[in-house]
Amino acid sequence: MAIIAFIGLGNMGSGMAANLVKAGHEVRAFDLSATALAHAVESGAKAAKSTADAVSGAAAVVTMLPAGKHVRAVYAGDVFPNAAPGTLFLDCSTIDVDSARFVGKAAVDQGFRFVDAPVSGGVAAAAAGTLTFMVGGAEADFAVAEPILQAMGKAILHAGDTGAGQAAKICNNMLLGITMIGTCEAFALAEKLGLDQQKFFDISSKASGQSWSMTSYCPVAGPMPGTPANHDYKPGFATGMMLKDLKLAQDAAQASGASTPLGAQAEALYAMFGNLGGQDLDFSAIYKMLNGSWKA
């Protein structure tokens, strides 16, 4: 078992760090928020005084931070100068591909190992240790990262070189945003046509309209008792998070010259729903805007 520094113990990081502790690792935690840090300590992590303190003497460093600018600043500012040569860095944050490649190259150039390893699955999956990791990095670095990630996830998938994990994540979530909106529109039309929602679910989930948004995360209450639609759209995966990922996808599409008209439309619709007050609700709550029942 290893000494692992964990930086960023928010909604996702706290559950992930707790699972590393459960797997027998010594977790040295740091977060700018004293509340987040205290929560991690309750789960068995040791509080570090700073990122530098957490990283010193660690065999691996996991970061779970809000965005690319935080990841760039934390690695350049405190991780690189304090890590031992050969230390493995696992950035599990969802960030832009360029930042992942920039930080990954800087790490490798200085004699460290680096993988970008963003996750699919929300706060519940982080707590349960059932995340899916999409990993970018050299084969040899993936091999070292895999057993650490296994303590926090149920599927560890190697996507390719550095940045490929982030590319897979934003392409996947762009598709998710599009299929969720499409599924919500289909339910809204079914409702107007007088079609029973349960009947439509039973048919579409076995017909060609089937998708994860329909059969694992149904956006209307009833057909699948466990989904956020049955719990006042408590996230789950919040609209604000989906919007962040759709913006990353659109930035990447523009930078790479890819044509993603439906991705652009999904971003616009989620931005509208956020502005109407849906920001903190689960992203499947966009159903209420699309069927006309949303009241801000």
| Token code pair at residue 252 | 């990447």
Mode of pairing for the β-strands spanning 46-47 and 26-30: parallel
Residue from 17, 20, 74, 97 binding ligand NAD (CB under 6 A): 74
Catalytic residue of the set 169, 199, 234, 247: 169
Stretch that binds ligand NAD, among 5-13, 83-91, 181-189, 204-212 (CB under 6 A): 5-13
| Token code pair at residue 146 | 């895999």
Residue from 41, 44, 47, 70 binding ligand NAD (CB under 6 A): 70
Residue from 3, 32, 144, 151 binding ligand NAD (CB under 6 A): 32
Binding positions for ligand NAD, 137-196, rule CB under 6 A:
none
Q: Please enumerate in sequence order all residues whose Cβ is within 8 A of that of 212, keeping only pairs 6 or more positions apart, or say none.
A: 176, 179
Residue 270 as a binder of ligand NAD (CB under 6 A): the answer is no
Report d(CA 159, CA 241) in Å as an integer: 22
- Give ∠ CA 21-25-26 in degrees, rounded to 5: 90
Residue 65 as a binder of ligand NAD (CB under 6 A): the answer is yes
Residue from 7, 61, 164, 186 binding ligand NAD (CB under 6 A): 7
Binding positions for ligand NAD, 95-134, rule CB under 6 A:
119, 122-123
Stretch that binds ligand NAD, among 19-27, 31-39, 107-115, 135-143 (CB under 6 A): 31-39
- Identify the helix (H) or strand (E) that includes residue 203: helix 197-204
Q: Annotated catalytic, 295? A: no
H helix intervals, 29-122? 34-42, 51-55, 68-74, 80-82, 97-109
Cite the active site residues.
169
